[in-house]
Structures are given as structure tokens and as C-alpha cells.
Homo-oligomer: A and B are copies of this chain.
Amino acid sequence: MAVTFTSIGIIKTPFKGIDGMPIQPSGAIDVPGQLVMDAQYEDGLCDLDGFSHLILLYHFHLSKGYRLTVKPFLDTVKRGLFSTRAPRRPNPIGLSIVRLDRIAGRILHVLDVDMVNGTPLLDIKPYVPAFDVRSDVRAGWLEQCQERSTSLKSDQRFREKK
């Protein structure tokens, strides 16, 4: 079953290319970005200014193809793709939680952005602790190395092999 989605806006960030980017918002604390919504969606932003955090869904538009096992940024051995947050996926949809600074018309000023500049935005959802925070979590192979995400930067490994 195929479904076609259309971007609702563009994410502007300081990251002009994939190299040297943070690999998660936890490695991009205070990095500012803007969500520039298409004008037709501006009325849907009402009430959003009461939320401190937003869930962004976006298209990993620079990711081409995928492999079912990958060597992630945070590990030295290959892992099953769905146990990673790698951008090259069957459906390359990115998910990041950012902080909302302020809204000016159809532009949302956000912090902690970890996307490349020009990323197409697919959806904004409010981050709601009762829905989105879980305790007693086991994080598999990431358990020991998740904290390293604050310092590691992206590199070429998710480019498609020629």
C-alpha cells in the first residue's frame, strides 16, 4: 500500500550538509532553527505556543536507499536497521523532539534542531508527557552508548554506496 505525502513547510537550520551534523537533538542543545510553514497551514498553529516541546516528523530527503543491517554512528558492529535511528530506511521519515521558542506568524522558532537545512517538514505534533514519556525503559544495544549521542557528529556513512 502506497501513500503520498506533501511537505507542510521547510526546516531551516545551520547545517548546510550532512557532514558534522549532530546525530540527535541531544547533541544539538540550543541550536536554533526555523520551521517555515506553508501559508495555507498558518491557522493550524493556534494554541501551539502553550507547548514547550514539539515532535517533528520530516522527510530525510537526502537519504537514498537502505540496507537492513547498518553500522550505526554509536556502535562498531552491524545492527538491524529497525533497532537504529539511521536515516536510510524503507520509509525515510525522521522524528525529532525540539523546543519551541516562539511563533511569529507562520514561522516557528525552535531550538535543538538536528536536521539538515531545507528538510521538508511533514507534521508537527505537541509533545505530551502522558502520551510520550515512558519509564522502565530498556534501550537494547543503545543502553550503554546513548549518552555519546551528545558529542558524536554525522559523517558519510549514510550516503548511498556508488
Contact = CB atoms under 8 A, between A and B. Distances in A.
Interface of A: 1-8, 24-26, 41, 43-53, 55, 57, 59, 61, 68-69, 79-85, 89-91, 93, 95, 97, 120, 122-134, 136-143, 146-147, 149-150
Given A126-B142, A137-B52, A146-B130, A47 B83 contact: yes
B1 A4 contact: no
B26 A126 contact: no
Q: Pick the 4 closest A-B CB pairs, nearest first.
A: A50-B140, A46-B80, A130-B146, A47-B83
B97 A47 contact: no
Copies in the complex: 2
A69 B46 CA distance: 8
A7 B141 CA distance: 26
A59 B120 CA distance: 18
Contacts of A138: 50-52
B47 A6 contact: no
Contacts of A89: 123
Given A68-B41, A95-B55, A129-B137, A83 B50 contact: yes
B128 A91 contact: no
B139 A129 contact: yes
Contact of A47 (B44, B48, B80, B130): B80
14 contacts: A25-B131, A41-B68, A41-B82, A44-B80, A45-B82, A46-B69, A51-B138, A51-B139, A82-B123, A91-B123, A97-B134, A126-B139, A128-B146, A130-B149
